[in-house]
Amino acid sequence: MCWQDYDLSMDNQIVNKYLEHPDFSPHLQACLEQVCASTGFIPETEIKRRCIYDPNKVWRVCVAGHYQGRPAVLRLENLKLEVDDEQIRQQFRLQCGHSGVRPPQTYFAQAYDPEKGFAFYIEELIQGRPIFDAAQDPDTAVKKFLPFYRLLRETVRHPFWEKPQTTELEFSGQQMGQWYDLAFKKYPERTTRLSPITDKLRGRLISHTPDTHLRFQHAHLTGNDVHLNEQGEYIVFANHFWSWRQNGYDITFPIWHMWLQLPVEKREAQAIKNITQTWMDAVYDSVRDLINPKDVELMLLNRLYGALLLDVPAKLNYEPAEQVDQLENALISEAERLLG
């Protein structure tokens, strides 16, 4: 089967732009000055950067400041998305009503301009906090996440664009192929060394992923991507990640994030298992009407495959190799446990 034949172009593609993407950092100041001069935005503090794995692959920068006399955030991006972020937010808003979950309000939006080489958006500054801290105990985290997850599922009932013909099996094959190819280019020795466990994960995923339709979902729901504001509303960020994915993918993302955010002193197999088991117990108890726990279990293998190949070695940009190896070993133990 030729995985690359399947067209997933309606979803935003981030990872597969890694090799071609130019770092935004050298051009950031000039772009910021240009936007401020044309809009009147007054910058104060940089608050966030998004990279494609490495710190020299910055594609989005958020700057807090003021716009037309009110607190605001300026987002600057030098990555051309398949679907503009503001278009996605507009579709999201159409279904929000007064549900208590929504994207940030946008004050000004300029889609990607190929001549300028960037896009920018000015939006409200959210006075709130992430719904959970990945460093918290998993029981606290899942209890804060699942009420939001239920509300989001009940609010967004209609996809923002048409369902592709691609099945879960086809998508999984292409997704894993992209991850592996990039990992081998970035970390050939490490990728080869990991093949005994990653081959098992890939084999299980290919043999057990159903040949059924994908589900439309927000595919990046970490605690940091959802804030609770002062009015008690859930504010959803990273909306460029709305896409058609495998069933169960969305709810495994906060689990994956907690794995990766474990402090060094807790990077052991038991801590990883505790995170996984706590979340899975809650899935079985609280959201079985929304999601099949078996789908979530399968997507945990998906998250382990991607984490071992790309997310864990990316930590070498920030941490000593021995600390990264601790996390890798703990995740390998978890993969072996889940594979049985």
For residue 320, pLDDT over 90 is answered with: yes
Both 156 and 109 in one domain: the answer is no
What are the tens digits of pLDDT across the range 69-86?
Answer: 999 999 999 999 888 999
pTM: 0.93
For residue 5, pLDDT over 60 is answered with: no
* Sheet strands side by side (includes 101-102): 101-102, 234-236, 226-229, 128-130
Q: What pLDDT does 10 receive?
A: 61
Both 296 and 212 in one domain: the answer is yes
Tell me what the mean pLDDT of segment 114-131 comes to.
95
pLDDT band at residue 3 under the 50/70/90 scheme: very low
CA distance 173 to 214: 13
Q: What pLDDT does 19 receive?
A: 80
Both 153 and 219 in one domain: the answer is yes
Both 235 and 274 in one domain: the answer is yes
CA distance 32 to 127: 23
Provide the CA 258 distance to its chain's centre, in angstroms.
13
What are the tens digits of pLDDT across the range 37-69?
Answer: 999 999 999 999 999 898 899 999 999 999 999
CA distance 97 to 90: 12
Tell me what the mean pLDDT of segment 262-286 comes to.
97
For tokens 């059924």, name the residue. Answer: 212
Tell me the residue range of the domain where 319 lies.
130-339
Provide the CA 151 distance to its chain's centre, in angstroms.
19
Both 145 and 289 in one domain: the answer is yes
Number of domains into which the chain is organized: 2
User: Which residue, 74, 102, 125, sits at the end of a domain?
Assistant: 125
For residue 107, pLDDT over 80 is answered with: yes
Both 107 and 208 in one domain: the answer is no
DSSP code of residue 104: P
Tokens of 40: 């009147």
User: Which residue, 71, 104, 125, sits at the end of a domain?
Assistant: 125
What are the tens digits of pLDDT across the range 287-300?
Answer: 999 999 999 999 99
Tell me what the mean pLDDT of segment 268-297 comes to.
97
pLDDT band at residue 9 under the 50/70/90 scheme: very low
Contact 109, 259 (CB under 8 A): no
Query: What proportion of the chain, given as a percentage, has pLDDT over 90?
Result: 88
Both 52 and 72 in one domain: the answer is yes
Q: What pLDDT does 39 receive?
A: 98
Both 198 and 103 in one domain: the answer is no
Taking the C-alpha atoms of 23, 241, 260 and 250 in order, what is their torsion angle to the nearest 10 degrees? -170
Both 313 and 228 in one domain: the answer is yes
Burial letters for 262-275: b for 16+ Cβ neighbours within 10 Å, e otherwise? beeebbeeebbebb
Work out the number of other CB atoms within 10 angstroms of the CB of residue 206. Answer: 13
The domain that holds 324 is classified in CATH as: 3.90.1200
The domain that holds 45 is classified in CATH as: 3.30.200
The closest of 240, 218, 192, 179 to 16, measured between CA atoms, is: 179
Mean pLDDT of the chain: 93
Q: What pLDDT does 128 receive?
A: 87
pLDDT band at residue 233 under the 50/70/90 scheme: very high
CA 299 to each of CA 194, 249, 256, 260: distance values in angstroms, whole numbers, following the listed order: 19, 6, 10, 16
For residue 14, pLDDT over 90 is answered with: no
The closest of 136, 141, 156 to 215, measured between CA atoms, is: 156
Contact 327, 319 (CB under 8 A): no
User: Which residue, 125, 148, 177, sits at the end of a domain?
Assistant: 125
Both 109 and 138 in one domain: the answer is no
Both 147 and 224 in one domain: the answer is yes
The closest of 233, 215, 208, 223 to 290, measured between CA atoms, is: 215
pLDDT band at residue 11 under the 50/70/90 scheme: confident
Both 64 and 120 in one domain: the answer is yes
